[in-house]
Amino acid sequence: MAPQPPSSYIALPPALPTELLDYVLAHQAYPTTLVICTTRAQFLDSLLRSLQNDKSPGAEDVSLPPPSSPDADPLVAPALHPFLVPTLHQLAISRYVDTVFIPTLAHLRAYLSVFGNGSSTTENGEQGRPEMRPWDKPGRNRPLLVVYGLLDLHRDTSEWSAQGLGISMAALVEAGKRGGRGVVVMEGKGEDAGGDEKLEEAAGDGETDLGEVNVGHREGKAQIWKGWFERMPMLNGSARRVGFESEDGGWSGRTVEVGRVLGRWFRFGRADWDEE
């Protein structure tokens, strides 16, 4: 049996932008870097749509009567989504979380090649972390390198293959090790995201090895994203057979499941937003 990847490298099911931010707020410790594999404008647009459609607890419908309505109270301020309320917790964390927007694969690999080699200055100019006071106790949270949308960055390029994805995975794991970070990867969820968003219940509990999952037996509760079962060619530059669809996705030559490539470097974890 192949050795399991360490638990500091985790692949999670797809997340909405709001779920991504929830995860970072709940699990991060200084220093944490959030890498968004889209442009800033694209991410903010998807975040806005996610905020408008958010049905999670604390984000209930807060619509008020229009000001022209006789029932409207001009002294009542509109209720805000929890993310739009500048709480002390969010303000404190935001000072020590770097957010980087990387829209191309070439930029991502260049960024990872130098990650962890610089000083501890955050992107917004903060130097180091606050000194730990004697009564502070270390918690379960740890410094993270979170990459959002990694697979979509490879999709529809010549690097959409086990070879291309493996190169990026190796660079990502090396960057995490060099920077002393836990590494978390997840895809976007929504109308703009690629792949199939549906989840399968797979054998096992908690972190799961995709190679050992038998989709036909759904006795466990671990959630396996169907996109991890998508097939990709083994080598870069493989041709796709036009008008031919099959289990291998129409690729010429040998193919492999995306999840098996990820499974060489990452363990498959359960997401906070899929535990209901």
> Using an 8 Å Cβ cutoff, are 142 and 182 in contact?
yes
DSSP code for 210: G
CA-derived radius of gyration, the chain: 21
pLDDT at 258: 92
Q: What are phi and psi of 188, to 5 degrees?
A: -75, 150
Q: Write out the two tokens for 80.
A: 């805000």
What pLDDT sits at residue 235? Answer: 84
Q: What is the mean pLDDT of the chain?
A: 74
Pick from 263, 266, 230, 260: nearest CA to 248 = 230
Identify whether the C-beta of residue 160 lies closer than 8 Å to the C-beta of residue 230. no
Report whether the peptide linkage leading into residue 31 is cis, meaning its omega lies within 30 degrees of zero: yes
Residue ranges of domains in the chain? 9-56+81-122+140-194+259-274
The pLDDT, as a whole number, for residue 247 is 54
Round to whole Å and give the CA distance between 275 and 214: 20
Q: What is the pLDDT of residues 196-207, one digit of tens each?
A: 555 555 444 444
What are the DSSP E strand ranges found in 37-187?
Answer: 97-101, 142-148, 182-186
Question: Quick one: fold of 9-56+81-122+140-194+259-274?
Answer: Rossmann fold (3.40.50)
Residue 158 pLDDT exceeds 70? yes
Share of the chain above pLDDT 90, in %: 37
Tokens representing residue 240 in the block? 């796709």
Average pLDDT over residues 80-85: 68
**What are the start-end ranges of the H helices in 115-193?**
150-154, 162-179
pLDDT for res 261: 93
* Other C-beta atoms lying within 10 Å of the C-beta of residue 146: 24
Residue 248 has pLDDT above 60, yes or no: no
CB 171 within 8 A of CB 105: no
pLDDT bucket at 54, cuts 50 / 70 / 90: confident
Candidate ranges 137-141, 176-180, 188-192, 228-232; pick with highest mean pLDDT: 176-180
Q: Could you tell me the pTM of the whole model? A: 0.73
What is the rounded CA–CA span in Å between residue 181 and residue 203?
Answer: 29
Measured CA distances, 17 to 34, 42, 95, 180 (Å): 12, 11, 19, 25
Q: Which two tokens stand for residue 154?
A: 């490879």
Q: Are 115 and 175 in contact (CB under 8 A)?
A: yes
Left if phi > 0, otherwise alpha if psi is -120 to 50, otherwise beta: which for 66? beta
How far is residue 110's CA from residue 89's CA, in Å, rounded to a whole number?
33
